[in-house]
Amino acid sequence: MRVAVLSGGRSSEHEISLESGASVAAGLREAGHEVSPVLLERDGRWTHEGSEVELRAGGGLLGADVAFPVLHGPFGEDGTVQGLLECLDVPYAGPGVLAAAISIDKLIFKRLLVFHGIPQVDFCEAGEEGWRERVAAMGLPVWVKPARLGSSVGISKVTSPERALDEAVELARRHDPRVIVEANGGGREVECSVIGNEEPRTSPPGEIVAHADWYDFEAKYSEGGMDLVVPARIGDQANARVRELAARVFKAIDGSGLARCDFFVLDDGEVLVNELNTIPGFTSTSVFAKLFEADGIAYQELCDLLVHYALERHEAQREFRF
C-alpha cells in the first residue's frame, strides 16, 4: 500500500517527531509498503518533496491508501490532524479525534479515570478553587506540568512550599494556560504498550530506570539516559495488573491503533495509572516498540499491523449511517 507518513508539526516536540517519522517510514518500507513522507512545517504548512500539499475535503492525501501520523504534542496528537484526515476521507493509523483530544489533556484524562474508578495519584488544576489547600495535602514533592504537552517539557519537581510552587506554575503556563499539579507517585515507573482496535493487545510491561533525579527530557532522549528492564521487576501479579489497566484505560478513551500507558507501581504492589500517550515516541529504540519487540513483534511488523488496524477501523466506520 501507499502510506503517507506525517511528521514534524508545530509543537515543541517537532524534532522528536521527525526522528519517529523517519523510523516509521523505514519500517513501512521494510514491510513492503510505498511511503510518501509529509512534513508538517513549524509554521503549519504541509509539504511533500519540497512542495506544498494541496488539501481538499474528500480529496484524499497524495493518493495514499492510508495516512500514518507520527506527531507528538499539540497540533498533531490532540485530535486536530485526526479531524482533518477525517475530512479528507483518508484512513489513518493511531487514535481517532476523541481519543486524541481526551488523552492530550491530562486534566480531562484524569477526570475520566476518576469516573471509571481507575486508580491514580491525586491531582488538581492550578488556579481552581481550593487548589493550594489540595496541593498542601499532597505533601512534597509535587509535580507541576503543562496539561497538554509531552516529553517532560515544562515540568517542575517542587520540593519546597509556596514560592517554588508559584514559580513552577508560572513556568508551566509559558507552555499551556492549563496547568496540572500531581502528587508524587513513588515506586517504580512502568510502561505498557497497547495496539489494536476493539480488542487491544498489551505488551509485557517494562520498567524505566532513569539515570537522573527523575525521568526528564534528557533522560528520555540522551544516549544512556535510561535503561528499560523487560519484564518489569514487580512480580507476576503486578505485571498482570498493569496489562489489565492498560487495556481498560485504552478502552475508556475509545482508543484505537496504538498507545503507551505509563504507571507507578508501589512497593506493596499497588498499581497507579500516570498517563496515556496515543502517539508515543516511535523510533526502533523507543520504549513503545521495544516492549512489543520483547513480545516477538519486530519493528517493521508493528508498523504493518498499525496500517491494517487503520484500514479496519475506517471500513468499520463506513458501515454506519452518521
Domain boundaries, the chain: 2-93, 102-106+110-117+186-310, 122-183
Pick the catalytic residue: 86, 152, 216, 221?
221
The CATH code that applies to domain 122-183 is 3.30.1490.20
pTM assigned to the model: 0.92
Q: What's the CA gap between 40 and 66, in Å, rounded?
A: 17
Pick the catalytic residue: 206, 257, 281, 299?
281
**DSSP H/E element including 138:** helix 131-138
Between 11-25, 127-141, 207-221, 298-312, the lowest mean confidence (pLDDT) is in: 207-221
Within 10 angstroms of residue 115's Cβ, the number of other Cβ atoms is 8
Closest by Cα among 304, 299, 310, 217 to 256: 310
pLDDT at 212 over 80: no
13 assigned to active site: yes
Tens digit of each residue's pLDDT (9 = 90 or more) over 71-111:
998 999 999 999 999 999 999 999 999 999 999 999 999 99
Q: Are the beta carbons of 40 and 70 closer than 8 angstroms?
A: no
Closest by Cα among 97, 90, 47, 40 to 67: 90
277 assigned to active site: yes
Q: Are the beta carbons of 88 and 59 closer than 8 angstroms?
A: yes
Tens digit of each residue's pLDDT (9 = 90 or more) over 213-237:
655 555 455 566 789 999 999 999 9
Tens digit of each residue's pLDDT (9 = 90 or more) over 143-167:
999 999 876 788 999 998 778 999 9
- For residue 207, the cross-strand partners are 190, 229
Pick the catalytic residue: 275, 286, 309, 313?
275
Which CATH class name applies to 2-93? alpha beta
Q: Which three cell numbers stand for residue 265?
A: 507501581
281 assigned to active site: yes
Q: What's the CA gap between 303 and 307, in Å, rounded?
A: 7
Pick the catalytic residue: 178, 188, 260, 313?
260
- Core vs surface per residue 251-286: b (16+ CB within 10 A) or e: ebbebbbbbbbbbbbeeeeebbbbbbbbbbbbbbeb
Between 117-126, 147-156, 172-181, the lowest mean confidence (pLDDT) is in: 147-156
- To the nearest whole number, what is the mean pLDDT of the chain? 94
> Would you identify the CATH topology of the domain 102-106+110-117+186-310?
D-amino Acid Aminotransferase; Chain A, domain 1 (3.30.470)
Q: Which three cell numbers stand for residue 269?
A: 504492589
What pLDDT is attached to residue 302?
98
Pick the catalytic residue: 176, 182, 262, 304?
262
